[in-house]
A = this chain, B = another copy of it.
Amino acid sequence: MFESAELGHKIDKATYDAEVPKLREALLDAQFDLGEKAKFPVIILIGGLDGAGRGETVNLINEWMDPRFIDTHGMGEPSDEEMERPMMWRFWRALPPKGKIGVFLGSWYTWPILNRARGLINSAELVQSLERAKRLEKMLADEGALLIKFWLHLSKDKQEERLKLLEKNPKTRWRVTKRDWNNYKRYDKFLTIHETVIRHTSTAEAPWIVVEGADARYRSLTVGKVILESIRKRLAEVDQKKERAIRAAPLLPPIDNLSILKTLDLTQKLDKRKFSAALEKYQGKLALLSRDPRFKEITVLTVFEGNDAAGKGGSIRRITGAVDARQYQVVPIAAPTEEERAQPYLWRFWRNLPRKGRITIFDRSWYGRVLVERVEKFCAEADWMRAYLEINDFEAQLVRHKIVVVKFWLAISKEEQLRRFEERKQTGFKRFKITDDDWRNREKWEDYEQAICDMVDRTSTGDAPWTLVEANDKYFARIKVLKTLCQRIESAMNTVELK
């Protein structure tokens, strides 16, 4: 795997000096076009061996290009705010927007490699981590990001040679520590891990570019040229604007017309007296749960989706009414802002992930991708088709970080919706205004119904299941929501061990 990177590649000074000025001009030119078009971000990962020139390469990129449009991230120890979120949060918050370049010296590969080297995970777990990294990169690439992954390599002999040379010179002797020699001794061990990494995660979207690191001139010119050609190629592609074809089987409605939504018993009801009693009971329970010391150790993420006028707002208020206002945050999802549009669609949800001991309630969510964006054709079939997998990956990361993901679909019948629309027309309250959009959505009732069923089938998982809420009766719906939420929080809290 590293054969070509142990050949002793070298570039002489004359060639280097002749090539560099042209390369730098071309890089600046490409960077200018990148910024002007602002159609995609560039994510550069610099991995590889100690001493193979990773730090130098990062500085080189900043020197050769315009550092005003490059963000460089060392990714050392995570801060406490980062520790309270899933591992990937710190990368999401550091992603460059379209038109900019992000250079990452530590990446999502760093911890899997170190953990494997320390024996904290076995080889199957390493591969599992790598598969996750691969899916993340595929998603970024599908969202348009240009990923350039460099792996800087040194042969064992070159590594030894380098350390001895540094030690010989009194001026550089301090740079060689015991840790360096220890790492050297474990060279073969690391090599095996690195091979696994390169093999599993060199994909069509984001192949590793292995570069021999021993000769600085060779390394620098190679890195510079790869970056230049990658950006140029992608800029040319962007101009062509090809529609991505999808080869997947189309999602068809069940041929007997029996769907999960049709099996819901929407006639279920609760009378006002029973509702009041149950509301008191479950709000009281939720209040106690959220004040339990173990609650500080978990995070709750609640998603509300549902037909227009299904009563999402009312259900949300029954939750917030029971919890201290400092503990929750409601995130209403409307059209994305300019900054959000310059990022992958999941970015705005990552940025709203709460710290521990809190409840975040999304009023509509990332499921817009497979609902409104699918039905209204705001994105291509290929885009919403891949979203099921991306969303499952996203939620799996949350669940692994002990975040309780509670998802509600509030279902009402087409007739009930009409009744509520008409009712709203009568009230004077502006906030209950029915818009043209609402009526338009209603015309596509069947398309939405299929999208909802596909969503439930494809994203209801053991750890992050959908709860379908029969919402023709508001009382019944609100209690079902509260009860489900309490159960989910309770069972998550039972797994918490207080120190």
Contacts and interface: CB of A to CB of B under 8 A. Distances in A.
Contacts of A330: 67-68, 70
Interface stretch (A216-224, A314-322, A418-426): A314-322
Nearest to A312: B68
Looking at chain A's contact residues, the main secondary structure is: helix
A431 B337 contact: no
A32 B429 CA distance: 9
A139 B320 CA distance: 33
A324 B55 contact: yes
Interface in A70-123: 70-74, 79-81, 103, 105
Interface stretch (A57-65, A373-381, A398-406, A477-485): A57-65
A28 B431 contact: yes
Most buried by B among A80, A313, A326, A328: A326
Contacts of A28: 429, 431
Given A32-B430, A313-B66, A431-B29, A325 B72 contact: yes
A25 interface: yes
A129 interface: no
The number of chain A residues touching the other chain, given as a range, is 35 or more
Contacts of A313: 66, 68
Given A313-B68, A430-B32, A430-B33, A62 B325 contact: yes
Contacts of A71: 329
A490 interface: no
Contacts of A29: 429-431
A320 B429 contact: no
Contacts of A79: 79-81
21 contacts: A25-B429, A28-B431, A29-B430, A29-B431, A36-B430, A58-B326, A63-B320, A66-B313, A66-B431, A67-B320, A67-B328, A67-B330, A68-B332, A72-B326, A72-B329, A73-B326, A79-B79, A79-B80, A79-B81, A103-B325, A105-B326
Count of chain copies? 2
Nearest to A433: B32
A338 interface: yes
Interface in A35-63: 36, 55, 58-59, 61-63
Contacts of A6: none
A325 B363 contact: no
Interface in A267-321: 313, 316-317, 320-321
A321 B105 contact: no
A313 to B, nearest CB: 7
